[in-house]
Amino acid sequence: MKITNAIVEKHGLKPDEYSKIKELLEREPNLLELGIFSAMWNEHCSYKSSRLHLKNLPTKGKQVIQGPGENAGVIDIGDDDAIIFKIESHNHPSFIEPYQGAATGVGGILRDVFTMGARPIALLNSIHFGSPKHPKTKSLLNGVVSGIGGYGNCIGIPTVAGETKFDSTYNENILVNAMAVGHAKKDKIFYSKAKGLNKSVVYVGSKTGRDGIHGASMASAEFDENSEDKKPTVQVGDPFTEKLLMEACLELMKDKSIISIQDMGAAGLTSSSVEMASKGELGIELNLDKVPCREEGMTPYEMMLSESQERMLIVLENNKEKEAKKIFERWDLDFVIIGKTTNTNNLTLKFKNEIVGEIPIDALASKAPLYDRKWIKTKLPTKKINIKDLKKIKLEDALIKILSSPNESNKSWVSEQFDQLVMTDTAQRSGSDAAIIRIHKKEKAIAVTVDSSANYCKAHPLTGGKQIVCESWRNLISVGAKPIAITNCLNFGNPENSKVMGEFAECLIGLKEACEFLNFPVVSGNVSFYNGTNKKNIDPTPVVGGVGLIQNTKNKINHILKKEGNIILQVGKTFGHLYQSVFFKEIYSITEGPPPEVNLSNEKNNGETVLKLINGNLIASAHDISAGGSILALAEMCLSSRYGLKIEKPTKLSNLMEHYFGEDQGRYLLEIEPKNLEKVIKIIDANNIFNETVATVQKDYFEIIGELKIHINELYKVNNKWYNNY
């Protein structure tokens, strides 16, 4: 078949990229080779627009065993224990086919984790939908939530935390980000780097079908009015097979049979074989006649580009094949030697006794395009609104409207679809600032959280990048965990647009600054570009997954109020920043202005001091103040416990809306027994941190003296109203 310009374009390649392919091959590629280049050079696999910026992120630390570059990041939590974790996107597939798109997103991220020798212990998600009034939103929400729950519940991994948000920017391009966390022993971590010559390359797992072909390429292109036609590019998942595959792989990993192992994720057999060979500076020869196929007449092109799920590629030590095969046959899975490692530094593909493709490995990997795209800075927006000029609203009315809004209402309907307790090590599930997972048979635990703030990033990407790292930091500290490392999923629009590229570049500068200052390195992640439809890009939406360590579960804490008469102390100063706030958006439909300032020095000092107080058993409960301001955080503490609060009016800010709804950063609410108050304040003062008493725990009523008094039952009804009706 002659390769035409139309065929090149259909494969998502630019004319200059095709010219580079011919230059590297010193000839025209055939269709199979073109498809392989298309898979490896797309944005999803090559990171061709983001690599220059990603390399600036801090990725090392005392507890970092493996940073970016492997299937997942690895951190040391002591006692020979390691935590392996990563977050990835499955945005495009989930919009096209929500159930399978979300389900296979979960399956894929789980494979990234157990591929490295870890038993998965927790799942998290960050899901963003369009306006609740959009005709597609309800079905997309139902499909995605069902897909996440269906896969995670069936495989038996608890889904312990997440976030669900709505905004019109996602009307035509939803976001589905899945995070997986696993536990392994430090001396039993497996990598994808192939080693040695003439080693067996083994295919294990499910058979290959025609689902998911061009899936990675589809994820590297914008949607248009024909997006529904892309359903065949969405993979189909089978969690029961994945469970078998996971157990078989973990069993094989108990001995020293495996040289390298790689999940067949995006770009399937192509990416897994190329990545293994590239890291090992080797060649790989595959006999495609031996690839287990579930459909008749599959071509080499289809085999190499299929993204059928629940498959792995393994390079085995010599003479280990029989023992390994027995394990996979016992789990009723395919085990086929389909090739070998070579010294050619080529990907060599054979079919029906002929070489049907031969490409230098470095042409697919290290020599893939790398773009330094033009980008423009986002100016910090000015403050143009005087709150005194806005139509006045009662404090109670504002609170009720916000608590009953789609984004701030109770979303337990979502979390209730997920099994949060399977495996019996969930010490604290969704609803708190972070979930807590006990390390099996130990007192030690990890805390995990996932967060995003698209509105801050849209207003000023650099500040937004810093803020979302700090949000993750505060959430971990608020449950008594020492923050260790993050993973990120960077969801942006078209990188060929200089404004979008600027949002990405500046967001990463913010991420870098915050991670460095807080000693909170990035150990894994994913970039998802081309989120948009018909040239309309989504708002920049970086998602951060944070992991922290709790040395003893006795020191874990939550935001549930504990006792009548206890004091609520606020740590960190309120300045009354309302721009980009929930209050401005929900009450006045104002979405302009700068995000709140992020003071990294205050974040670190405040957070470390709060953690010290928690570890000293001086705090009964804790909650960070974020979206919605202090009044929403106080209300959440009440709603979680059914205790009330008597809240004092401010002495510093005369404007109640600024005081209660301002989203100034670096703040916490701490519940303290009266007997400990003096000691707590002394420690806080010694660290030069602003603090003030703001409330007292009482029965039944959420009350601001002289302003509002709402029974907790009524507050609960208000907070559940929207979701129940939707």
d(CA 369, CA 20): 9
pLDDT for 232 equals 58
Average pLDDT over residues 486-497: 97
pLDDT over 90 (residue 40): yes
Is 53 catalytic? The answer is no
Cα–Cα distance, 182 to 477 (Å, whole number) = 21
**Listed residue (490, 478, 493, 507) closest to 538, CA to CA:** 493
Give tens-digit pLDDT for 236-266.
889 999 999 999 999 999 988 999 999 998 8
Do 146 and 188 touch, CB atoms closer than 8 A?
A: no
**Other C-beta atoms lying within 10 Å of the C-beta of residue 656:** 17
90 counts as catalytic: yes
pLDDT score at 224? 54
Of 280, 266, 253, whose CA–CA distance to 199 is shortest?
280
**Does residue 229 carry a pLDDT above 50?**
no
* pLDDT greater than 70 at residue 18: yes
Give the active site residue among 53, 90, 183, 623. 90
- Select from 335, 197, 193, 329 the least CA-distant residue to 272: 193
pLDDT of 419-464, one tens digit each? 999 988 999 988 889 999 999 999 999 999 999 999 999 999 999 9
**How distant, in Å, are the alpha carbons of 74, 181, 244, 394, 686 from that of 85?**
7, 4, 21, 45, 37
- Quick: pLDDT tens for 383-397: 888 888 899 999 999
More confident residue, 511 or 726: 511
Average pLDDT, the chain: 94
Specify whether the CB–CB gap between 407 and 165 falls below 8 A. Answer: yes
Separation of alpha carbons 365 and 233, rounded Å: 23
Q: Per-residue pLDDT averaged across 365-370, rounded?
A: 95
Radius of gyration for the chain, computed over Cα atoms and rounded to the nearest angstrom: 26
Whole-number pLDDT of residue 235: 79
pLDDT band for position 222 (50/70/90)? low
CA distance 218 to 85: 25
* Predicted pLDDT at 651: 76
Q: What is the mean pLDDT of residues 165-193?
A: 96
Per-residue confidence band for 355, with pLDDT thresholds at 50, 70 and 90: very high
Structure-token pair, residue 547: 């992991």
- For the chain, what percent of residues have pLDDT higher than 70? 97
168 falls in which pLDDT band (50, 70, 90)? Answer: very high
163-167, 227-231, 649-653, 685-689: least confidently modelled range: 227-231
Q: Is pLDDT at 220 greater than 70 in this prediction?
A: no
Could you give the count of Cα atoms lying within 13 Å of 53 in the half-sphere of its Cβ? 25
Percent of the chain surpassing pLDDT 90: 90
Which of 11, 44, 53, 559 is catalytic? The answer is 44
d(CA 94, CA 102): 5
Convert the pLDDT of each residue in 543-593 to its tens digit: 999 999 999 999 999 999 999 999 999 999 999 999 999 999 999 999 999
Distance CA(447)–CA(435), nearest Å, equals 6
